């Protein structure tokens, strides 16, 4: 299969996943199994785990960029696959937590409240935007269209890094208010 054909083949999946993932997460975020009468224990142990996974994602992204700049292609590839796997694991745990636990309200006051909500809102918006960017960047690497891969990676990397780092920051800011 030619490189352009490979990209075209995956474009439908990229569009489908880029729309479906945020919609499913938004729908599931509003579903609390306990409130629906299911006898499930709150998965209250998950937030520090998925915050740590966000931190691992950030480190993997930074080291992956350093690896490719040093010509270590296989290491770069493995680290990027690790970052994608971490992001998927985060998403699964995040949804599972919110489906079994009540949402935690941020209790900070004054300027810190505005800082928190700014970080949270930009984190959420960019976490939606990053989905197609990561998928396109990955497919271009699979298709071995490295000039196009590198061009979009320069956009994808800082946004994905911001999402990963702010995921940790949001957790650290709200963690004192967990019940």
The pLDDT score that the predictor gives to residue 34 is 79
Using CA atoms, how far apart are residues 18 and 5, in angstroms rounded to an integer? 20
The mean pLDDT of 67-88, rounded to a whole number, is 98
pLDDT range class, residue 6, cuts 50, 70, 90:
confident
Lowest mean pLDDT: which of 14-18, 32-36, 87-91? 32-36
The yes/no answer on whether domain 3-177 falls in CATH 2.40.110.10 is: no
All structural domains of the chain with their residue ranges:
3-177
What tens digit of pLDDT does each residue of 100-154 get?
988 889 999 999 999 999 999 999 999 999 999 999 999 999 999 999 999 999 9
**3 state DSSP class of 163:** helix
Which pair of structure tokens corresponds to residue 62?
Answer: 């930074």
The confidence band for 1, taking pLDDT boundaries of 50, 70 and 90, is low
End-to-end CA separation in angstroms for the chain: 54
Taking the CA atoms of 85, 91, 94 and 100 in sequence, report the sign of the dihedral they define.
negative
pLDDT band at 174 (very low <50, low <70, confident <90, very high): very high
Dist CA 48 CA 29 (whole Å): 18
- Tell me what the pLDDT averaged over the chain comes to: 93
Q: What average pLDDT does the segment 12-36 reach?
A: 88
Q: What is the 3-state secondary structure (H, E, C) of 70-131?
A: CCCHHHHHHHHHHHHHHHHHHHHHHHHHHHHCCCCCCCCCCHHHHHHHHHHHHHHHHHHHHH
| Percent of the chain clearing pLDDT 90 (strictly above) | 78
Question: Is residue 164 predicted with pLDDT exceeding 80?
Answer: yes
Does residue 151 or residue 34 have the better pLDDT? 151
Name the residue with higher pLDDT: 179 or 65.
65
Q: Which two tokens stand for residue 130?
A: 């990053």
pTM: 0.91
Name the more confident of 61 and 25: 61
């Amino acid at each position: 299969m030619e490189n352009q054909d490979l990209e075209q083949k995956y474009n439908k999946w990229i569009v489908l996943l880029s729309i479906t993932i945020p919609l499913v997460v938004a729908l599931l975020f509003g579903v609390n199994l306990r409130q629906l009468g299911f006898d499930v224990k709150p998965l209250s142990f998950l937030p520090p785990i998925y915050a740590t996974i966000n931190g691992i994602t950030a480190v993997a992204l930074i080291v992956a960029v350093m690896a490719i700049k040093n010509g270590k292609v296989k290491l770069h590839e493995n680290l990027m696959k690790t970052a994608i796997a971490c992001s998927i694991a985060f998403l699964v745990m995040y949804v599972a937590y919110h489906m079994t636990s009540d949402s935690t309200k941020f209790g900070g006051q004054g300027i810190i409240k505005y800082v928190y909500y700014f970080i949270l809102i930009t984190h959420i918006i960019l976490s939606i935007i990053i989905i197609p960017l990561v998928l396109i960047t990955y497919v271009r690497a699979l298709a071995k269209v490295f000039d196009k891969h590198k061009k979009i990676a320069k956009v994808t990397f800082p946004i994905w890094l911001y999402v990963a780092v702010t995921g940790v920051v949001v957790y650290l800011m709200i963690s004192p208010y967990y019940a």
